[in-house]
Amino acid sequence: MGEFGKRKGGGRRSAARTSLPLIAVITTLRDSRSAVLADVSETGARLRGRDLPPEHEDLFIAVEGLSVFGTVAWADGDERGVSFDAPLHAEDEALLRKQMVHAQGLPLELKAAFDDWAQGFAR
């Protein structure tokens, strides 16, 4: 799995992770698709979804008003580990946590449909 989630020196992950079932829009040079943002830290994220980009693919992630560039660090079935080009700011991670609280109780399918509509994919 390489260096995803590790800081200099290897060993245990130094960035705390937050479990988040949020819908993200993943964009590459070839296409765009939705995925579930399974967890996130300041240095990367784990995504779940069908037909996600392969390892080493550059991508753009848009989720809940936040946009970040990254690279697929590892691929395992329908999951991908993404290493961000630049670490997230603490405020951005806090924003994702807040949005998760607002999304609780809303079925993921309905949330995904709304996100697709808001992003312009379903009109």
> The dihedral of CA 109, 113, 118, 119: what is its sign?
positive
pLDDT digits (tens, 9 = 90+) for 86-104: 999 988 887 776 675 566 5
Token pair, residue 40, equals 């996130």
pLDDT digits (tens, 9 = 90+) for 17-59: 554 467 889 999 999 999 988 778 889 988 989 899 999 999 9
CA distance 58 to 94: 25
CA angle in degrees (0–180, nearest 5) for 29-34-111: 150
CA distance 65 to 95: 9
Q: Look up the CATH superfamily of 18-116.
A: predicted glycosyltransferase like domains (2.40.10.220)
Count of CA atoms in the C-beta half-sphere (13 A) of 97: 12
Domain ranges for the chain = 18-116
